[in-house]
Structure 1
Amino acid sequence: MMAAAQLFNQVLAPQTQLPSLHLFPLRPQKCDFHNDKRVFRSLPPQNSTKRSFYIASSSNVGAAPLWENWAPEKTSKAPSLSDIIWPSAGAFAAMALLGKIDQILAPKGVSITIAPLGAVCAVLFATPASPGARKYNMFVAQIGCAAIGALAFSILGPGWLARSTALAAAMAFMIFTRSVHPPAASLPLLFIDGVKLHHLNFWYALFPGSAGCIVLCLIQDMVCYLKDNLKF
């Protein structure tokens, strides 16, 4: 009897133990945070493809109110007095210097002061860290857009077709060359509608826009120095 009992324990007993079954096998998950999104990736089992799905965080739920575009940015701080004074003084000095150059060039019948240079002053003095204030953007866009305006006028003459074609070509040029400089978009329109500029022909690509920007760059250096060192 003892031998029969030992044989039962060694052979039959292990077979009566059912293997543990997992009806719902759990797999560990990995959570990464990328740009305010939670990305849950289920670790794939062997011989299976990797699967992932995205769950938007609660901060993305709901659109911003429409009126927020009509208010200042909440993250921007109020400007100091020096942040207002020095760019304004730079704009005054720029127009005064360009006006003095106009007096010198008056006998030759040309002028360096044009309206787009006022927009350039706003970009260079008020937002010197913006992409539009980069020297590459400014000079490439100024030269290219001015040349496009002269070319459009020589082919299409004055009128709405020349203006629309020149502006579209100027936009495409700035995007293609990665030199977006908003004030330069007005140069083609200024040339097409400005009778006093037609005698410049393709010299318009260099004067007065690009020549005026050289003067403004020199003043921008002084404005940035004063803003950084003389605060009040």
Structure 2
Amino acid sequence: MGTQLRASCFHHNGCCNIPSSISTPEATLLHFYSSSILSKLNDPFNKNKRLVLETYLSFSSNKERNAATVRRGRIGRRKSFGHGIVASSNVAAPLWDSWKPQKASSDPSLSDILWPSAGAFAAMAILGKMDQMLAPKGLSMTIAPLGAVCAVLFATPSTPAARKYNMFMAQIGCAAIGVVAFSIFGPGWLARSAGLAAAIAFMIYARATHPPAASLPILFIDGVKLHQLNYWYALFPGAAGCIILCLIQVMVSYMKENFKF
């Protein structure tokens, strides 16, 4: 009796009353499925009409539940965007994270600390010995930017700043920019400001970011003893000193790889 009642309702509704909440692709599928069910129910030789009807009703109710779930999800997303709640991987880290030490998989070993420090000591000792040889000419190889280069090459050799292209391109270009700024503006704050700004712009344009080189224009503008070098300052002492530091870096890397403790 129940089957006949549901079948009569089924025929009365024509099997084509598609819920308005179902999207167009789902409605097309349901219409096709309903036509197939109707043909099976009208077949006089089909003895499983009840099973066919139960299958259709289950299919229809599942489609309605899925459509309602999708509709609730869309409303939830609209509310989230309305309140400014957006999930993104580009969200900036909290301000205080930059005041914490960087997380590492393991603590540095004693050899990881000793060999870079020994390399820096050897570098300054060699440059100091060269200063004694150049002293009669009033020149010096020991300049502050080379100390920063030691830290980059020995402590963080895998960073972009330690790339040889970045280092030499920035050393030569920024030193030359310092000479040009001094020639145009003379000594003073304007030459320092213009030289530093131009040096940063040059490193970004040349894709050769090397932070220690940014101090070379200021060093030349304020260093009276360096003015006699003129455009030779682009190669000496910055670029020339970096050649020596690169040779020492090879030794430091070898010691770190083969003598660990």
Q: CA deviation at 1:17?
A: 2.7
Task: Give the counterpart of 2:180 among 132, 151, 157.
Answer: 151
Point out the structure with max Rg over C-alpha.
2
Displacement, 1:76? 5.2
Q: Please report the RMSD computed on the Cα atoms of aligned residues, expressed in angstroms.
A: 2.5
- Please, which runs of 5 or more residues in structure 1 have no aligned partner? 1-12, 29-52
1:180 aligns with 2:180: no
Match of 1:216 in 2: 245
CA distance in 1, matches of 2:229, 2:90: 54
Q: Report the Cα distance in structure 2 between the residues aligned to 1:149 and 1:120, rounded to whole angstroms.
A: 18
Q: The residue matched to 1:77 in structure 2 has which SS? A: coil
Distance in 1 between residues matched to 2:147 and 2:212, nearest whole Å: 9
Identify if the C-alpha distance between structure 1 residues 66 and 23 changes in structure 2 by more than 3 Å, giving closer, same or farther: same
Alpha-carbon shift at residue 58 of structure 1 (Å): 8.8
Q: CA 1:214/1:16 → structure 2, altered by over 3 Å: closer, same or farther?
A: closer
Q: Calculate percent identity across the aligned residue pairs.
A: 71
Residue deviations 1:162-209, cap 9 Å, x none?
000000000000000000100000000000000000000000000000
Query: 1:44-193 to 2 correspondence within 5 Å?
Result: 56-57=86-87, 64-75=93-104, 77-193=106-222
| Cα displacement (A) at 1:65 | 4.1
Moved >4 Å (runs of 4+):
13-16, 53-61
Q: 1:220 to 1:15 in 2, by over 3 A?
A: same
Which residue of structure 1 lines up, in the alignment, with residue 20 of structure 2? 23
Cα deviation, residue 66, structure 1: 3.2
- Given residue 236 of structure 2, which amino acid in structure 1 is its aligned partner? F
Q: Secondary structure at the match of 1:201?
A: helix
In 2, distance between residues paired with 1:56 and 1:75?
Answer: 30
1:112 and 1:149 map into 2 onto residues whose CA distance is: 17
Please identify which structure carries the higher helix content: 2
Which runs of 5 or more structure 2 residues have no equivalent in the other structure? 1-9, 27-77
* 1:230 corresponding residue in structure 2: 259
Distance 1:58 1:154 in 2: 49
- Code of the aligned partner of 1:22: P
Q: Any idea what the Cα deviations from partners look like across 1:8-62, whole Å, max 9, x if unmatched?
A: xxxxx9787341413222569xxxxxxxxxxxxxxxxxxxxxxxx999559888x
Deviations 1:118-150 (A, max 9, x none): 000000000000000000000000000000001
Shift, 1:107, TM fit: 2.1
**Cα distance per residue 1:83-125 (max 9 Å; x no partner):** 1000000000000011111112222221111110000000000
